[in-house]
Structure formats: C-alpha cells, structure tokens
C-alpha cells in the first residue's frame, strides 16, 4: 500500500477480536486508520464492550474482523452507522449475515489468501490416512517394529475416485493437486461450473456413491449443516475416506464416530470439529483417523496474505472503489 492510499483524515476503524489474538499488525493498520479496539480497553466484559461501541457508534463505518471473532446482532445493534465488515477469515459463519443483509452492511473475506495452504493440508491429510503415515510413525516410535516385524498394508492414492464438496478456490486447488496422482475428480457445489472438466453431481449423496474419497471444503450454512449424514456415509462405504477442511458442522460428527468405530467407514482426515476444541475421544485410538487442530489455514504466509486482503478491502471501501472480496449475503 502507498501513502496515496491513506484516507485523510484517518477514519475510525473498529477492531473486532477476541482477547488472545495477535495485535502486531495494528501498528501497520494505524498508518491508515484511527483504531478503536474495545477488547484492549475492557477485555472480555461484553456489556462494557457494547457500552464503548455505543459511545463511538456514529463514527464507526467500518470494522476489521479478526479471524473467527463473533459479530452477531447484539454487537451490530450498537453500530447503526456500520457499512462494511472486512474479515481476515475465509468463512463467515461467525458473522450474522442475515442481519448484515437487512442493514445493508457489506461483508468481505480474505478471498484466496488461505486457498493454497488449505488445499495442501487437505491432500496431506488424505495421504496420511491412506498411507498410514502418522500411525506408522507411532508404530516405530513406541518400539513395535522389532516386535511385530510387519506393519499393516496401506492404501494407494493413485487412481482413487475423489469427490470434492465445494469447488471454489480451495476445491479447484485440491483437484489440481490430485490430478497428477492419477485421481479421477468429480464434484458437487452450489451450481455447475461449465468451465471445469470434472463431472458434476447434483447432490453429495450421488457424489458419494461414485467416490472412494470425499473432501469437504464448502461453506458452512444452515443448508450444509450435517450434509454428511448416515445416508452419505453409507453410500461412501466401509473403504471410503472423509477429509474435512471446511467446518466441523458439515458432518454429523456423532454418526461419523459411530461409523468409524464400527468399521463402516474406511478412515478420516479431520482438521475441523463440531465443538472445537473438544474432539470425540473415541477417535484418539483409531489409526485410520488423522486429527489436526484447525490449522489448515494457518501458515505465516497465509496469515500475512489475509491481513493484506482485509486492509485492501478497507482502503477500497473508504475510497469508494469496488471491494476485492465481497461475500454473497443471499
């Protein structure tokens, strides 16, 4: 960003964050905006937080949303002048989009800032589940190799049928990475994309019937909640693998645990869970399950890119220019 991008005088910018988020980027933001950071002043006291917002309500036109910090109706009620929420996350289930739409508030996300790293992680989880890399590592570390001699055979990724649920920027990158492995790609998404060469299925159930693997990277909404249910997991079968780098709520987690424990599902690579940071303990002893603490998006490179994207959207907003990454609110 250049100095010519700086609004003059500096507009007031609300920082919406939870207390433990890194604030090192604020020094850079303060070059462009006057920062209002209620969390720094009142901590986690929500009533004092909202009182502070009401004090500055008329001057707050834009909000910098850090990560998954909630922005719900009770907070929006304190901000009658708010016009733009620039988020550093790609998902928006922590924002009351219905209320934003009603109020005419524009919401942006970080666009493709996380896409490559999430795609890398999805493929890594898949390889780990199929080739039993983490399980084999544990086998060696605890000294089982000299005793047992042989380790159970793993499964090849080559020529697997991979169904991608959500062929957006992440899904497309996952497909691009898997094609060189000789995988057959198909997908389901909100709509058919005629510009891609992969078969489209109208429902996740139909996709599961024709897949060895399902990779979830779609948006979490009321419509997609528990889209991976008993019927879909049954269709995927006892050799099928689930990989989830979307949101935990996309899967009926209790049913997935039951399928895995009963051997009715071949394996799972999970970066997200329904009630984070709680993870079903039944999964801990399963060698066909690989677990990650919601880290798919997080690398130093992607974090910086997400901050830059949010800043670019804010500067565009205050300059009355088109936003880079507007979120559909329908």
Residues annotated catalytic, as ranges:
247, 276, 294
Q: Are 36 and 10 in contact (CB under 8 A)?
A: no
Give the Cα separation of 193 and 63 in Å (integer): 33
Count the alpha carbons within 13 Å of 265 in the hemisphere toward its beta carbon: 32
Query: How many residues are there in the chain?
Result: 330
In sequence order, what are the residues at sequence separation of 6 or more whose Cβ sits closer than 8 angstroms to the Cβ of residue 306? 88, 89, 90, 110, 113, 114
Q: What span, in angstroms and rounded, lies between the C-alpha atoms of 169 and 201?
A: 18
Give the pair of three-digit tokens for residue 221: 């909404």
What gap in Å lies between CA 122 and CA 65, rounded to an integer?
Answer: 26
Residues 6+ apart with CB under 8 A from 86: 62, 63, 64, 65, 108, 310, 311, 313, 314, 317
Pairing type for strands 267-270 and 62-65 reads unpaired
Name the DSSP class of 65: E
Whether 241 contacts 212, CB under 8 Å = yes
Asked if 250 and 225 touch (Cβ cutoff 8 Å), the reply is yes
Answer whether the bond into residue 277 is a cis peptide, omega within 30°: yes
Report the candidate in 235, 216, 234, 239 with the shortest Cα–Cα distance to residue 160.
239
Are residues 239 and 264 in contact, defined by beta-carbon separation less than 8 angstroms?
Answer: no
Task: Please say whether the beta carbons of 158 and 209 come within 8 A.
Answer: no
């Amino acid at each position: 960003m250049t100095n010519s991008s700086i609004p003059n005088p500096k507009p007031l910018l609300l920082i919406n964050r939870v207390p433990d988020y890194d604030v090192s980027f604020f020094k850079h933001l303060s070059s462009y905006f006057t920062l209002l950071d209620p969390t720094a002043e009142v901590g986690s006291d929500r009533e004092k937080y909202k009182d502070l917002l009401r004090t500055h309500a008329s001057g707050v036109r834009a909000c910098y949303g850090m990560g998954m910090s909630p922005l719900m109706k009770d907070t929006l009620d304190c901000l009658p002048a708010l016009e733009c929420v620039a988020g550093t996350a790609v998902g928006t289930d922590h924002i009351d989009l219905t209320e934003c739409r009603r109020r005419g508030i524009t919401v942006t996300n970080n666009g493709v800032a996380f896409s490559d790293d999430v795609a890398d992680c999805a493929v890594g989880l898949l390889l780990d589940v199929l080739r039993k890399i983490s399980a084999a590592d544990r086998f060696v570390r605890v000294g089982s190799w000299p005793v047992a001699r042989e380790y159970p055979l793993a499964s090849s990724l080559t020529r697997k049928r991979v169904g991608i649920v959500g062929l957006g920027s992440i899904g497309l990158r996952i497909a691009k990475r898997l094609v060189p492995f000789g995988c057959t790609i198909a997908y389901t998404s909100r709509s058919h994309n005629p510009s891609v060469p992969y078969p489209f299925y109208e429902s996740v159930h139909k996709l599961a019937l024709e897949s060895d693997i399902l990779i979830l990277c779609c948006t979490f909404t009321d419509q997609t909640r528990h889209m991976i249910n008993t019927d879909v997991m049954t269709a995927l079968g006892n050799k099928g693998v689930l990989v989830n780098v979307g949101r935990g709520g996309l899967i009926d987690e209790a049913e997935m645990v039951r399928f895995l424990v009963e051997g009715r599902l071949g394996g799972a690579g999970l970066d997200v869970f329904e009630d984070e940071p709680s993870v079903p303990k039944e999964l801990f002893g399963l060698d066909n399950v690989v677990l990650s603490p919601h880290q798919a998006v997080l690398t130093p490179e992607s974090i910086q890119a997400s901050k830059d994207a949010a800043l670019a959207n804010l500067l565009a907003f205050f300059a009355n220019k088109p936003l880079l990454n507007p979120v559909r609110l329908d």
